[in-house]
Amino acid sequence: MTLLIDSGNTRIKLGWCHPVTGAREAMALSLRADQLDQLPALLQAHQAPLQDIKRCNGPRAIGVNVAGTHVQALIDQAMHALGLSPVRWLRSEAKAFGLRNGYKRAEQLGADRWVALLGLCDLLQNASYANHPALLASFGTATTIDMLGPVQTNERNFLGGTILPGPSLMLSSLKQNTAQLPQAHGRISPFPTDTDAAICTGVAAAQAGAVLRQWEQGRLQFGVPPLLFIAGGGRDLILPELHQQLAHHCRLINTVPPPAQNLDTPTLSGLALYASAPCR
């Protein structure tokens, strides 16, 4: 077994994967960097197969980190304490597992985005998806909206994507940078009549509009509606507004709106590909 580590800006997610059978964790473990001293107990509570991980012939821990060198050092220390060091920290590549990176400089793409797209690409192996582009919208500390093209000559292309502040960051920035606006917890409304609702509606509309923009760009580029996948902890605030905007837009263009398919841990799924191909 190999431990999988997704170190994001806010949370660290951990899973595990059998490199031969592909067997995965029942539920990913999520914690903050300041909880790493509790990692042995947390892994035990999540029934992580630590002894099997320690017996692994390949890398015992594979991860991506976008939280900076300090957090990476803390994770390395925690892995050393567990007897799993060194961690194999991944970077974005020009091509891997049937996906070609469309960034001008492949290494500039965030490793978490790259590996999440690999996880999505693996999910799309079903032949019925081959002719469809796919859009992955991930609502974390930052919101990223990334487009994959349809299969061409046995591979997909990552065309590129957008980055904007995530829902929580938008909400907190209004509180921190204005004199009178609160940390909002309002309901989304067509015409908000209180400040909390006005803020939450504005944030949801901005996020959903950004997704709709990229979805429409993909439809125009490829002539077919992209499949839509949603990830990240901030998605619950956005989904009702996104469904509404997509439904309205699709009525105008006389097409069926795509279902927004939830992905809980696409980055861990991408890391599992590397765990199963340790020679990469």
Sheet bearing 134-139, strands edge to edge: 95-96, 99-101, 156-165, 142-148, 134-139, 227-231, 260-262
Backbone angles phi, psi at 230, to 5 degrees: -125, 135
SS3 content of the chain, % helix, strand, coil (to 5): 40, 20, 35
Give 237's contacts (C-beta < 8 A, 6+ positions apart). Answer: 139, 167, 188, 200, 203, 204, 207
Q: What pLDDT is stored for residue 127 in this prediction?
A: 73
pLDDT tens, 227-261?
A: 999 999 999 989 999 999 999 999 999 999 999 99
Q: How far is CA 271 from the centre of its chain?
A: 12
Share of the chain above pLDDT 90, in %: 69
pLDDT surpasses 80 at 178: no
Name the DSSP class of 262. E
pLDDT tens digit sequence for 124-157 = 988 788 889 999 999 999 999 999 999 999 999 9
For the question of residue 112 being annotated catalytic, the response is yes
Q: Which CATH superfamily is domain 95-266 in?
A: ATPase, nucleotide binding domain (3.30.420.40)
Instruction: Single out the residue of 5, 17, 2, 13 nearest to residue 231, CA to CA.
Output: 13
Which CATH code for domain 2-89?
Answer: 3.30.420.40
* CA nearest to 40, candidates 26, 59, 54: 54
**CA-CA distances (angstroms) from residue 85 to 71, 81, 279?**
15, 8, 18
Q: What is the mean pLDDT of the chain?
A: 91
Considering the candidates 112, 146, 194, 196, report the single residue annotated as catalytic. Answer: 112
Residue 277: band (very low, low, confident or very high) from pLDDT cuts 50, 70, 90: confident
Q: pLDDT digit string (tens) for 51-80?
A: 888 877 767 899 999 999 999 999 999 999
Which residues of the chain form CATH 3.30.420.40? 2-89, 95-266
